[in-house]
Structure formats: C-alpha cells, structure tokens
Amino acid sequence: MRLKDKVALITGGSKGVGAATAKLFGREGAAVAVVDLDAEKGAKLCEEISAGGGAAAFFQADVADRIGVKAMVESVMARYNRIDILVNNAGIIRDAMLVKMMPEQWDAVLAVNLTGVFNCTQAIVPLMIQQGGGRILCASSVVGVYGNIGQTNYVASKAGVIGMVKVWAKELGRKGITVNAVTPGFIATDMTASLPSKVIDLMKDRTPLGRLGTPEDVAHAYLFLASDEASFITGAVLSVDGGLIP
C-alpha cells in the first residue's frame, strides 16, 4: 500500500474526481477525511470506503469560509491527530462571456477555486511543519494555462492556483513539504454528462487519445504525487489531458 498509515484530507471529496481519489487513497492504506458541502453524498462515500476495508470520515465545510475551514481542520485533527496529504480538489464553474459575466459569478468562482485553496492550505501547513513534512496537491486545469472562451473567472482561478503552487513549493521545500498541481483536460464527470453529444464528440476529437479522461485517471496522478515515489517532485504542473496540450 503506497499510502499506508497516512491521513489524507480531500476537499470536494463527495463526487467526481474527489470521490475517485478518496476511494483510491483508501485502497492504498490512507485514512481519508472527505470534505464537502454535500453531507449525504459524503457520508455515503465514506460508508462505501469503509465497507471495502478502508478508513474514511466525512467533514462538512465550505472551503470559501475561512472560519469554517479552521473548525473543519480542528475536527480532522481531533479524529486523526495528523494530516499528511491535502488534496485541494473543490471547485465550481459559473461560465459567461466577459461582457455578460456578473460580479457575483466572478466572486463565487474565485472564492471557492482560489481563496478556498488558500484557506485550506494556510490552515494545514503549520501542522505539516510541526510533523516534519507533507504533500499538498492542487487541482488546476489546462484552461488555467491556455485559456478558454467564456471562462474568465474559472481560468483566472486555475491560473492563480498554479502561481500559488510555484510560490509554496519554494517556501515550503525546506520544511519537507512538496506542493504540486494537476491540470486535467476533458474529464467525464457529472458536469460533462449533461453536455450535448456534439460537444462530447468535439472534446474527444480534440484529444489525441480519442476519449475523455476518467476521474480515476486524475486520481492516479494524485496518488503518484502523494506517494514516496514523488518525494523529489515539487512545484510541478502535471497534465492529465490525453495529449490535448502539447
């Protein structure tokens, strides 16, 4: 087991990539703290992980709420007494063209996707420093590198995540903490399932491997970066996009 005796906190952990990561980490020996707003899905996922022989517990929190994040981290520490891995996976979209984007659409996406990553990381890093090390993994996106029409807010948030990862890798390396980003391409989630078949086909056509990625594809990238095999990798941006971006 690659994560035996580790404690992993995963935000946005109740569905999609977050759920796939929680299941995989559980199978690999980690005790998983599943963090999400959706208590029903989160609790059900933890039951599934536990039924499969893993260890998991649900913690409800809004990553954009700084006080709520602090309370959540305290609850995780009270249960597990340590946090070895943080996966900043929570994210939302509120798409619109620039001229039609409302301030509340901008604010909501930046609050969760960027400030939420800051809140969770800042709350957990002091604990990792005391422990002598840790792994921080952050969900960005290929659009955070190359842009995308109609996603000014989302692209800004995901580009910002990459920037923070670069800074934190430099600041925290000597503390034994690695910080890396994953940039998924077109991934088959609940979000893409609601898209018209023409759009899905276009996504596949644009991807050299000829298919959408799965949540498990991203989860395995997280697993590698969380494992001992990646102990000399920090400040990296790992694309999981089927060759979409050369």
For 175-199, write each residue's pLDDT tens digit: 999 999 999 999 998 767 777 788 8
Entry pTM: 0.96
- pLDDT, mean over the chain: 96
Q: How far is 85 from 7, CA to CA, in rounded Å?
A: 6
Task: Please report whether residue 161 resides in a domain.
Answer: yes
Q: What is the pLDDT of residue 244?
A: 87
Structural domain tally of the chain?
A: 1
Helices (H), the chain: 16-27, 39-51, 66-80, 103-110, 116-131, 143-146, 152-172, 190-193, 197-206, 215-226
Q: Structural domain of residue 117, as residue ranges? A: 7-185+217-240
Q: What is the pLDDT of residue 135?
A: 98
Task: Mention every residue, 6+ apart, whose C-beta is less than 8 A from residue 28.
Answer: 1, 2, 3, 4, 223
Q: How sure is the predictor about 117, in pLDDT bands with cuts at 50, 70 and 90?
A: very high
Weakest-pLDDT range from 124-128, 162-166, 183-187: 183-187
Element (H, E) at 32: strand 31-36
Weakest-pLDDT range from 70-74, 114-118, 119-123, 193-197: 193-197
Tell me if 226 sits within 8 A of 137, measured CB to CB: yes
Identity of the residue numbered 142: V
Residue linked to tokens 């943080």? 86
| HSE of 66, CA atoms in CB hemisphere, 13 A | 6
Residue 131 clears pLDDT 90, i.e. is over it: yes
Task: Write phi, then psi, for 56 (nearest 5 degrees).
Answer: -155, 150
User: Which residue of the set 80, 146, 154, 222 is catalytic?
Assistant: 154
Cβ-based neighbour number of residue 47 at 10 Å = 12
Task: Please report whether residue 103 resides in a domain.
Answer: yes
Task: Please report whether residue 28 resides in a domain.
Answer: yes
The CATH number of whichever domain residue 94 belongs to comes to: 3.40.50.720
What is the β-pairing status of strands 7-11 and 31-36?
parallel
Task: Please report whether residue 70 resides in a domain.
Answer: yes
Residue linked to tokens 């952990």? 13
Task: Please report whether residue 169 resides in a domain.
Answer: yes
Weakest-pLDDT range from 90-94, 182-186, 242-246: 242-246
Task: Mention every residue, 6+ apart, whose C-beta is less than 8 A from residue 173.
Answer: 234
Q: What is the pLDDT of residue 199?
A: 80
Q: What is the pLDDT of residue 190?
A: 77
Task: Please report whether residue 232 resides in a domain.
Answer: yes
Task: Please report whether residue 203 resides in a domain.
Answer: no
For 43-65, write each residue's pLDDT tens digit: 999 999 999 999 999 999 999 99
Task: Please report whether residue 92 resides in a domain.
Answer: yes
What average pLDDT does this structure show over 209-220?
96
> What angle is formed at CA 117 by the lines to CA 36 and CA 228, rounded to 5 degrees?
90
Is 154 a known active-site residue?
A: yes
Q: What is the pLDDT of residue 44?
A: 98
